[in-house]
């Protein structure tokens, strides 16, 4: 054992949500025995949520895969089955596993071309991991069918911000909220999904006197701190925020100088707001007109107003327009480009911002440089030593499109690093059918989850504590992830696996250029990424040893960017967008009279691959459906009753929780539980621009059923202990 890993404290970055908390891993004999956080930590000041402080034991779970695996029974398209049991796999050497994957991937590429290849990168993995994987698929397989979970999270926000401002990132630093005198939270259960940011928001209200406006269909915890709560019906965001804009325009509360100096398209926008009278907005959203008027005045009259949002805004067939309705408000009032203001989409996973920055998207190279721009493609061909014209100039398939294109002549192989599409895709019954049609699947992860169980070959990856690299948090802060443990078994860091596989593929393609994959440390990968992505040009490992740097960092002397748009927007002027209100794709009706809303809970994280393999699963061990007391009484339901919930796409069984956290006519289900996966119910209709599904609203019905209908723990992959 490496003596340097005995009795030491290693500083690193939390592997869960987008806050990016600073952690101290206390190590003894290559074992983490506790986690603390420094009180001078720049992000979280010593505070940690239950996941960050206690949720690391998944590293030692007995179900973790620590040896490369190949399926014992070869799989054929149309007959592919799931194999959770390790007895259905055979343990192999790294050489055999990598050679097998390289042979199959190269065979399919040579036969069917670039459009047969697709990859899911990973918002849990480091910037360096994601940069290398997208480089492999672009440089070797010449495809842009590259995406990750941002498509299922903030794609609507990204497209809206790019259209209006030319930049897709959070504009300010979350801790600046204490300098806001009014801030809006919408579509975010911040206290459970970003708990440390919520602590700062609570302090802004209680200690610094800020006024909070919450716009949400649920009575989330932050409502307890709010001056106003606007309990909108799901999917009516454009109406509510355009109603606020209408009031600001009619009462002349807008910032005329900011509009004149820094925006365009104001007149067309203002005309489109005429219809959004408070009376009309109340009729479609359920929010009383008095609340809309008061919220508009409060935000417009603020010295520093800020807006924070999460997936309740973006996960919609009109997610792009939802984001644009918020951007319109900020441009209208001039609440952007200053400390304590801004447009702040809260990123869900630890490195979803960084994975996007790293080029893990179908339309952009690293640094959001468009793949269909000739000068951009030529730049990357030169950087990656590829012949002129060699890179693909066509926009690739998004996460939500990849599985839909699985067929002869379409996508035939899929590489998955750390994602779990069989939990995160909408309309899961249909997604499983597509997965079964694939010809070859390679998975790189810690556990055999619902997606990995379909794989032909499985690569055991190292956890966050077993590798070096960087994560970029929701504040755009790039921070170090430090190796604290030797990897368990034969597990390897993701970047090492990718580089080793790339060399094998390159050789089989007859393009020997292996020096481009000869990395000895991830700092070299970051240097390469900075050479092609201007916003990361100044990010060097020796500069972020103690405190991270906030991108963009344009050179080695640049100190980072705490807030964006001080003097200008990347697009030049900020662009107002005229908007119209469109209802959700599938409204309630006589057959399905309720609306389903989905989201997260404090104790779990996304598809559950990590937290449901942790003792955190004991804190929140099963899915529950939240039902308002009015609806529960009308249907004879009490808390803990067994319930069947159905949509036109599927059904699940789970327990009821009667609570006023939701509003009448709307039920809520968390999406972490494979045995009662909310996404068997959700609608796969998509935003036409962002290609993000409508996870947050669809028509549903529910009924009480016998207790024996509930899933038994032995009937799903419920997760042992170390």
- The token pair at 443 is 């998975």
**For 207-220, what is the mean pLDDT?**
97
The pLDDT assigned to 711 comes to 87
Residues composing the chain = 722
The percentage of residues in the chain with a pLDDT greater than 70, rounded to a whole number, is 97
Q: Which burial class, exposed, middle or buried, applies to 635 when counting CB atoms under 10 A from its CB (0-12, 13-18, 19+)?
A: middle
Q: What tens digit of pLDDT does each residue of 633-667 get?
A: 999 999 999 999 999 999 999 999 999 999 999 99
Q: What tens digit of pLDDT does each residue of 234-268 get?
A: 999 999 999 999 999 999 999 999 999 999 999 99
2-11, 16-25, 211-220, 616-625: range with lowest mean pLDDT: 2-11
Q: Is a pLDDT exceeding 50 seen at residue 77?
A: yes
**For 367-395, what is the mean pLDDT?**
96
* Positions of E strands within 139-239: 146-147, 182-186, 211-215, 228-230
CA atoms 174, 228, 221, 161: torsion sign: negative
The pLDDT assigned to 154 comes to 85
Q: Is residue 31 within 8 Å of residue 10, measured between CB atoms?
A: no
The percentage of residues in the chain with a pLDDT greater than 90, rounded to a whole number, is 92
pTM: 0.95
Give the C-alpha separation, 353 to 552, whole Å.
12
SS3 26: strand
CA atoms 283, 286, 288, 291: torsion sign: negative
Confidence of residue 98 (pLDDT cuts 50, 70, 90): very high
Q: What tens digit of pLDDT does each residue of 272-293 get?
A: 999 999 999 999 999 999 999 9
Give the C-alpha separation, 675 to 396, whole Å.
33
Give the C-alpha separation, 686 to 608, whole Å.
24
CA atoms within 13 A on the CB side of 406: 24
Q: Is a pLDDT exceeding 60 seen at residue 190?
A: yes
Q: Is residue 669 within 8 Å of residue 623, measured between CB atoms?
A: yes
DSSP assignment of 521-572 equals SHHHHHHHHHHH-GGGTT--GGGSSSS-EESP--STT----SSS-SS-BTTB
Q: Is a pLDDT exceeding 60 seen at residue 143?
A: yes
Delineate the domains of the chain, giving CATH numbers in brackets: 3-60 (2.20.25.90), 69-151+350-535 (3.40.50.740), 153-348 (3.40.228.10), 594-715 (2.40.40.20)
β-sheet with 228-230: strand ranges across: 228-230, 211-215, 182-186, 305-309, 342-345
β-sheet with 469-472: strand ranges across: 469-472, 477-481, 549-550
Burial readout 557-568 (b: 16 or more C-beta within 10 A, e: otherwise): ebebbebbbeee
Q: Is residue 669 within 8 Å of residue 698, measured between CB atoms?
A: no
SS3 227: coil
10 Å Cβ neighbour count for 271?
11
CA atoms within 13 A on the CB side of 260: 3
Confidence of residue 6 (pLDDT cuts 50, 70, 90): low
The pLDDT assigned to 722 comes to 33
Give the C-alpha separation, 497 to 16, whole Å.
22
Cis-peptide into 552, omega within 30 deg: yes
Confidence of residue 86 (pLDDT cuts 50, 70, 90): confident
Rounded to the nearest 5 degrees, what angle is found at the Cα of 4, between the Cα atoms of 2 and 10?
A: 125
Q: What tens digit of pLDDT does each residue of 471-519 get?
A: 999 999 999 999 999 999 999 999 999 999 999 999 999 886 656 899 9
Burial readout 168-185 (b: 16 or more C-beta within 10 A, e: otherwise): bbbbbbbbbbbbbbbbbb
Give the C-alpha separation, 720 to 354, whole Å.
31
CA distances from 687 to 168, 170, 371 (A): 17, 21, 21
Burial readout 331-370 (b: 16 or more C-beta within 10 A, e: otherwise): bbbbbbbbebbbbbbbbbbbbbbbbbbbbbbbbbbbbbbe
β-sheet with 117-120: strand ranges across: 89-91, 69-71, 457-460, 440-445, 413-417, 117-120, 146-147
Q: What tens digit of pLDDT does each residue of 662-709 get?
A: 999 999 999 999 999 999 999 999 999 999 999 999 999 999 999 999
> Which residues make beta-bridge pairs with 11?
24
Give the C-alpha separation, 63 to 472, whole Å.
29
The pLDDT assigned to 606 comes to 84
- Indicate the helix (H) or strand (E) that contains 430: helix 428-436
* Farthest-apart Cα atoms in the chain, separation: 71
10 Å Cβ neighbour count for 283?
11
Confidence of residue 713 (pLDDT cuts 50, 70, 90): low
Q: What tens digit of pLDDT does each residue of 538-578 get?
A: 999 999 999 999 999 999 999 999 999 999 999 999 999 99
Q: Is a pLDDT exceeding 60 seen at residue 370?
A: yes
**For 69-88, what is the mean pLDDT?**
93
Q: What tens digit of pLDDT does each residue of 324-347 get?
A: 999 999 999 999 999 999 999 998
């Amino acid at each position: 054992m490496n003596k340097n890993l005995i009795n030491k404290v290693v500083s690193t970055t939390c592997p869960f949500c987008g806050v990016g908390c600073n952690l101290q891993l206390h190590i003894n004999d290559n074992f983490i025995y506790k986690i603390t956080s420094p009180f001078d930590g720049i992000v979280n000041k010593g505070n940690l949520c239950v996941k960050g402080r206690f949720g690391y034991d998944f590293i030692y779970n007995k179900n973790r895969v620590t040896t490369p695996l190949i399926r014992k029974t070869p799989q054929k398209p149309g007959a592919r089955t799931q194999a959770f049991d390790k007895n259905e796999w055979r343990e192999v050497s790294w050489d055999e596993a990598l050679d097998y994957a390289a042979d199959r991937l190269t065979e399919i590429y040579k036969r069917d071309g670039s459009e047969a290849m697709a990859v899911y990168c990973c918002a849990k993995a480091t910037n360096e991991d994601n940069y290398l994987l997208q480089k492999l698929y672009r440089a070797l397989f010449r495809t842009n069918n590259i995406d990750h979970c941002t498509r299922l999270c903030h794609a609507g926000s990204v497209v809206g911000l790019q259209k209006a401002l030319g930049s897709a990132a959070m504009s300010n630093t979350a801790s600046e909220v204490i300098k806001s005198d009014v801030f809006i939270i919408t579509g975010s259960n911040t206290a459970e999904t970003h708990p440390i940011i919520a602590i700062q928001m609570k302090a802004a209200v209680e200690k610094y006197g800020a006024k909070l406006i919450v716009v949400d269909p649920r009575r989330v915890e932050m409502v307890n701190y709010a001056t106003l709560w606007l309990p909108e019906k799901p999917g009516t965001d454009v109406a509510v925020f355009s109603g606020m804009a209408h009031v600001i325009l009619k009462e002349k509360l807008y910032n005329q100088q900011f509009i004149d100096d820094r925006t365009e398209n104001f007149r067309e926008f203002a005309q489109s707001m005429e219809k959004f009278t408070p009376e009309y907005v109340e009729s479609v959203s359920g929010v009383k007109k008095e609340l809309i008027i008061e919220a508009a005045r409060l935000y417009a009259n603020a010295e520093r107003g800020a807006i924070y949002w999460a997936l309740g805004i973006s996960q919609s067939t009109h997610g792009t327009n939802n984001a644009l309705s918020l951007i319109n408000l900020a441009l209208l009032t001039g609440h952007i480009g200053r400390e304590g203001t801004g447009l702040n989409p809260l990123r869900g996973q630890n490195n979803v911002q960084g994975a996007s920055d790293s080029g893990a998207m179908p339309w952009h190279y690293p640094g959001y440089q468009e793949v269909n721009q000739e000068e951009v493609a030529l730049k990357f061909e030169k950087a990656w030593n590829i012949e002129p014209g060699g890179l693909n100039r066509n926009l690739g398939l998004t996460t939500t499109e990849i599985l839909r294109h699985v067929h002869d002549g379409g996508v035939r192989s899929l590489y998955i690093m750390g994602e779990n599409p069989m939990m995160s895709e909408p309309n899961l019954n249909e997604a499983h059918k597509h997965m079964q049609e694939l010809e070859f699947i390679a998975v790189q992860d810690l556990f055999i989850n619902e997606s990995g169980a379909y794989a032909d070959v499985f690569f055991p990856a190292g956890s966050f504590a077993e590798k070096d690299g960087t994560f970029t948090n929701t504040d755009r802060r790039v921070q170090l992830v430090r190796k604290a443990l030797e990897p368990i078994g034969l597990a390897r860091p993701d970047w090492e696996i990718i580089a080793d596989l790339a060399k094998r593929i390159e050789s089989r393609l007859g393009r020997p250029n292996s020096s481009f994959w000869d990395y000895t440390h991830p700092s070299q990968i970051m240097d390469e990424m900075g050479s092609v992505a201007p916003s990361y040009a100044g990010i060097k490992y020796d500069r972020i040893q103690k405190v991270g740097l906030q991108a963009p960092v344009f050179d080695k002397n640049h100190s980072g960017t705490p807030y964006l748009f001080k003097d200008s927007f990347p697009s030049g002027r900020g662009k107002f967008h005229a908007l119209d209100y469109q209802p959700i794709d599938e409204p309630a009706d006589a057959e399905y009279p309720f609306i389903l809303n989905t989201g997260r809970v404090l104790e779990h994280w996304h598809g559950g691959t990590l937290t449901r393999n942790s003792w955190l699963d004991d804190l929140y061990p099963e899915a529950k459906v939240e039902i308002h007391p009015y609806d529960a009484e009308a249907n004879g339901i009490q808390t803990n009753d067994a319930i069947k919930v159905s949509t036109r796409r599927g059904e699940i069984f789970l327990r009821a929780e009667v609570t006023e956290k939701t509003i009448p006519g709307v039920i809520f289900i968390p999406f972490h539980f494979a045995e009662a996966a909310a996404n068997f119910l959700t609608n796969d209709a998509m935003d036409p621009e962002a290609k993000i599904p409508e996870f947050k609203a669809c028509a549903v019905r529910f009924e009480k059923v016998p207790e024996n209908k509930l899933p038994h723990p032995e009937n799903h992959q419920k997760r042992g202990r170390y």
